[in-house]
Structure 1
Amino acid sequence: MSNTCDWQIHKQKMNERGQYLLETGQWSDCRFVVGTEPHQQEFSGHKLLLAMSSPVFEAMFFGGMAEKNDAIPILDVQPDAFKALLEYIYTDNINLQSFDQACELCYVAKKYMLPYLVEECTKYLWEDLYPKNACRAYEFAKLFEEPILMEKCLRIISAETEEVLHESSFEDIELSTLVTMLELDELSVSSELELYEAVQRWAVRECTRKGLSPEEGKSLRSVLGHAIGKIRFLTLTPTQFAEGPALSRLLTQDESFAILMNISSSTPGKLPMPEGFTTSTVARKRPVHLPSRQDGVSDAESSVISSVGGDVIREGHKYYCLRNIVQEPHFLNTSILDCSVAFTVDRNICVLGVQVPTQVHAGNTDYPHQPLVDSYTELLYAHLLDSDGSRLTYTHFTSRVSYGALMEIGFNRPVYIQRNKMYRVGVVLNKGGWYPMGTCIQRMTCDAVVFTFRVGARCDSVRDGLIRSIVFTY
């Protein structure tokens, strides 16, 4: 026999056989075009192996959203990261060698719902946290909603602030990250002057990036926005302020005079400060605890504890605000179905998740007949947004579920919401089939908590009725 026919004989382990299929492309039945020009690459794959590992690939190849294209474009992923993803799927091998690679691979692992790979990437990032990359890691963790990693990054920033500020990478951080740093009460700096000088360096670099003149005060202030007001000028001495910030281009003469008058006053903070500037006279504290790179929150703790605005959320008794259905028609979902509903409550509560109805067996003979089995595999995404559309929490859900039931979808982390403020919960269903929809009563009371629901602008109250229950505690 030739080597092309008996290659299996020489592969003793499954990962060796997977490696061979990945490298040679033998029996491949799908292709991916990954990345953008000029760094675009093409990869071959095997639908069965990919679907075995990822519910997203399962839906892509065998579900209602099955891809029909010859080559599947994936433009938002770097080729090296996609290659590493395939290597994990085919061989179980995870070869992380750099911070940047771990970030890229974590992104693609989240996209294709591979939680173990996400966990391994996150662990690598935890262990590779240093002042040089703490800000970038924070931005990554914030973007992909990794609260434990975010907290670790902030602890590094707080405990080793001077090193963070003197890293060249500090000048490349986002404005929102800069504001977050300036809002921390605990920072390891000798005085507020260090923060001011770092902010000035950042503003000069940002002006250069945006093609503005870094020599003009208006340009510097335009890129800084309200961040300048977070600096605690009133903690400086008159000499420190007069010989430093007062001479820079970041402050106008009127602002410098008002601040200096407050610093020199026997009751600082009593005189009018420039609009948007803090009146705090309390110097930043150095953290008592210098965090170890290995410090963290256990998986058990992270599932029941979250910090929001200083409050500690602990999972207590669950309540279910089940929305009463006025009528319940059935709807055939042929591809991807999204639904959402806005709501307010009359007291502060902690939202844990939602309940959504599972599919029912088809009753209309005009459509393909649904097999009469007891269960199917559900695949969906759910999130909670605030009134500005900012995502507070989310979850990917895949599980074997029974027909004609209610499934409970728990968010990745519980979130406190405030009374009389508008929030929106949304669900995206990725499985084709019949779903029971319906118009719901708009006002419900559950254990003394009053929920008022409002449907979206499209006024699709029937489809929004797919969100049957808000799961909460308080």
Structure 2
Amino acid sequence: MSLSRDSSRSDSADSDEPRTPRRKRSTYETRFLADLGPFHDIGFFIGQNDADLQLVTCHKLALARVSDVFAHIFYRPDNPLDDDEPIFVQDISPVAFESMCGFAYTGEMYVETFDECCGLLYAAKKYNLCEELRNQCRAYLWANIYPNNVWLCLDFARDNDEPQLYQTALQILQLKTSKLLMREKFRKVSESSLVTLLQQENLSIASEYELYDACLRWAERQMDKRQLTNSRDTVRHLLRPVLPHLRLLAMSDEELNQGPLADDVLTDDEAVALFNRTEVDGLCPTREERGQPRVDSFCAFAFSDEMFLLHLESEYFENTYDVFAMAFSSSGDFFSTQLGVVIPTQIRPKDCTDDTYDEDLTVFLYNCTKGEMLSITRFKGEVRFDSQVEVPFRQPVQLKSKRVRKVAKVVFHRAGTYPARYPLEEGKDGELRVATFAGHEKVKLWHKRSYNFIHFCAYTVDSSTTDKGD
């Protein structure tokens, strides 16, 4: 496979997404075949415009072996392909197409960014490549939705029929609304994604004023992007699709006077009606404030061992696991020994009659204060659906300082749906109780409602001083 383009890649300047290093092809034979440019027998011009076309060449047999769509294109007897004529592909980026060809030769996935993986998943679905590649793409995308790619995932998943990715992105928007609104990438979101956000009944915001202020910042960005005149009519035109979903009547008098009534974005009739707290056509009639989000379960995708190794190569950074599968970010007990965690098992699917399944996951324990990995524990075993399992760390971790920010994350190697909340009888918020854990007697189990997915943290205290953490 060869690609006639410069080897350097241009990424957006404001992207702080950790890049995933590419793996070298695993064998000499696959490297030889892929790089055998003079003997390639098919070429593709990739790009939307003539000026941007890039040539990718490879072997027809390699692509036909992994795709019945390519096999039909190359070898159908009713309309034989002219080998001297390249095939034009306008809806896939050159990088994504090259990654797809790389998978055809090696059976391994190569992506560096979220955008590339979106393109590869689109190509895999278009050309009907194996479900294994699609699921690897979904696992990579799922892990990297938060915090940089929520809006991109929302658009991609909606446009490409990926309901589980779409639901995950929507849950993250609901749980992390205020934080995501303050990120620079929010100002670049599509109009449809902004409307989707405003249609949510439950969002993690302090008041509706946050959404109103965010919409103004979004409109300012749109004016700069489209080189529009900054005027009341322009702002009004840009905000017309979102005004029916902004609950201006739910804002306080002070917020109204500081915002909509002072910013001159409403018509005179709308301003008078809003001042008098009456409904008017074109504005949202809802007076109730939005509720706080409640996520009862989440869908996790399985990391292959190859992708898992790439995950290990990266330093600690925020990703989707921080939203759903992270726990006990705290100073911890003075002179404590961290023994492990108690985590819930998968929710049994409706069409499943089995009581058990084979669980496979890895628990990371980081010391974020010193930037070091404290423990990596792989758990494999048969467990019951709708229960919980004790996962002791491979080696108990001793912490001899109160000022230690420690973070545990769970990486899934088996896809499924997990509970995100726990009944009160399973552990009240702030509960510290003594129990038996993995053969240890009188272990302290610390539960905190703000924990995600991980139910209890198990530890022993090696001094008479007990500090429950934050």
**Same fold by TM (over 0.5)?**
yes
Contact 2:117–2:137 (Cα < 8 Å) also in 1:
yes
Q: Aligned partners of 1:167 and 1:302: how far apart in 2? A: 39
Residue among 229, 239, 245 paired with 1:213: 229
Residue among 66, 69, 80 paired with 1:56: 69
Match status 1:29 vs 2:45: no
Q: Aligned partners of 1:96 and 1:30: how far apart in 2? A: 23
Tell me what 1:179 maps to. Answer: 195
- CA apart distance, 1:189: 0.7
Q: Which amino acid aligns with 1:205?
A: R
Contact 1:156–1:291 (Cα < 8 Å) also in 2:
no
Q: Aligned partners of 2:178 and 2:64: how far apart in 1? A: 48
- CA apart distance, 1:161: 0.4
Match status 1:40 vs 2:53: yes
Q: Relative to 1, partners in 2 of residues 1:300 and 1:94: Cα closer, same or farther, differing over 3 Å?
A: farther
Q: Relative to 1, partners in 2 of residues 1:147 and 1:66: Cα closer, same or farther, differing over 3 Å?
A: farther
Tell me what 1:225 maps to. Answer: 240
Q: Which amino acid aligns with 1:48?
A: L
Tell me what 1:16 maps to. Answer: 28
Q: Aligned partners of 2:166 and 2:211: how far apart in 1? A: 21
**Superimposed CA distance per residue, residues 157-214 of structure 1 (whole angstroms, 9 cap, x where no aligned partner):** 0000011111111111111111110010111110000000000111121122223212
SS in 2 for 1:42: strand
Match status 1:150 vs 2:166: yes
Q: Which amino acid aligns with 2:126?
A: K
Tell me what 1:108 maps to. Answer: 123
Match status 1:260 vs 2:275: yes
- CA apart distance, 1:258: 0.2
Residue among 261, 265, 268 paired with 1:250: 265
Q: Relative to 1, partners in 2 of residues 1:226 and 1:298: Cα closer, same or farther, differing over 3 Å?
A: farther
Q: How does 1:182-197 map to 2 (within 5 A)?
A: 182-197=198-213
Contact 1:15–1:92 (Cα < 8 Å) also in 2:
no
Q: Relative to 1, partners in 2 of residues 1:44 and 1:300: Cα closer, same or farther, differing over 3 Å?
A: farther
Contact 2:176–2:204 (Cα < 8 Å) also in 1:
yes
Q: Which amino acid aligns with 2:95?
A: D
Match status 1:119 vs 2:135: yes
Query: How many pairs are equivalent?
Result: 282
Q: Relative to 1, partners in 2 of residues 1:27 and 1:73: Cα closer, same or farther, differing over 3 Å?
A: same
Q: Aligned partners of 1:224 and 1:22: how far apart in 2? A: 51
- CA apart distance, 1:31: 1.5
Contact 1:192–1:232 (Cα < 8 Å) also in 2:
yes
Q: Which amino acid aligns with 1:126?
A: W
Tell me what 2:281 maps to. Answer: 275
- CA apart distance, 1:27: 3.7
Which residues of structure 1 form unaligned runs of 5+?
A: 1-12, 263-270, 305-474
Tell me what 1:234 maps to. Answer: 249
- CA apart distance, 1:221: 1.9
Percent sequence identity over matched residues?
A: 29
Q: Aligned partners of 1:116 and 1:15: how far apart in 2? A: 20
Tell me what 1:161 maps to. Answer: 177
Contact 2:102–2:110 (Cα < 8 Å) also in 1:
no
Contact 1:131–1:157 (Cα < 8 Å) also in 2:
no
Contact 1:217–1:250 (Cα < 8 Å) also in 2:
yes
Contact 2:42–2:60 (Cα < 8 Å) also in 1:
yes
- CA apart distance, 1:43: 2.3
Q: Relative to 1, partners in 2 of residues 1:17 and 1:130: Cα closer, same or farther, differing over 3 Å?
A: same
Which stretch shifts more, 94-103 or 80-89?
94-103
- CA apart distance, 1:41: 2.5
Which residues of structure 2 form unaligned runs of 5+?
A: 1-24, 299-319, 326-344, 353-470
Tell me what 2:151 maps to. Answer: 135
SS in 2 for 1:145: coil
Q: Aligned partners of 1:49 and 1:167: how far apart in 2? A: 43
**Superimposed CA distance per residue, residues 451-470 of structure 1 (whole angstroms, 9 cap, x where no aligned partner):** xxxxxxxxxxxxxxxxxxxx
Contact 1:106–1:121 (Cα < 8 Å) also in 2:
yes
Q: Which amino acid aligns with 1:133?
A: N
Tell me what 2:293 maps to. Answer: 287
Contact 2:118–2:137 (Cα < 8 Å) also in 1:
yes
**Superimposed CA distance per residue, residues 356-383 of structure 1 (whole angstroms, 9 cap, x where no aligned partner):** xxxxxxxxxxxxxxxxxxxxxxxxxxxx
Q: Aligned partners of 2:155 and 2:122: how far apart in 1? A: 13
- CA apart distance, 1:302: 9.9
Match status 1:98 vs 2:149: no
SS in 1 for 2:201: coil
Match status 1:201 vs 2:203: no
Contact 2:243–2:284 (Cα < 8 Å) also in 1:
no
Match status 1:76 vs 2:91: yes
Q: Relative to 1, partners in 2 of residues 1:257 and 1:290: Cα closer, same or farther, differing over 3 Å?
A: farther
Q: Aligned partners of 1:178 and 1:139: how far apart in 2? A: 10
The two structures have a TM-score, normalised by structure 2, of 0.56
Q: Aligned partners of 1:197 and 1:23: how far apart in 2? A: 53
Q: Relative to 1, partners in 2 of residues 1:231 and 1:103: Cα closer, same or farther, differing over 3 Å?
A: same
Q: Aligned partners of 1:187 and 1:66: how far apart in 2? A: 56
- CA apart distance, 1:298: 8.3
**Superimposed CA distance per residue, residues 340-399 of structure 1 (whole angstroms, 9 cap, x where no aligned partner):** xxxxxxxxxxxxxxxxxxxxxxxxxxxxxxxxxxxxxxxxxxxxxxxxxxxxxxxxxxxx
Contact 2:178–2:204 (Cα < 8 Å) also in 1:
yes
Q: What RMSD in Å do the two structures reach over aligned CA positions?
A: 2.8
Contact 1:33–1:42 (Cα < 8 Å) also in 2:
yes
Contact 1:171–1:205 (Cα < 8 Å) also in 2:
yes
SS in 1 for 2:35: helix
Q: Aligned partners of 1:95 and 1:86: how far apart in 2? A: 10
SS in 2 for 1:258: helix
Contact 1:50–1:58 (Cα < 8 Å) also in 2:
yes
The two structures have a TM-score, normalised by structure 1, of 0.55
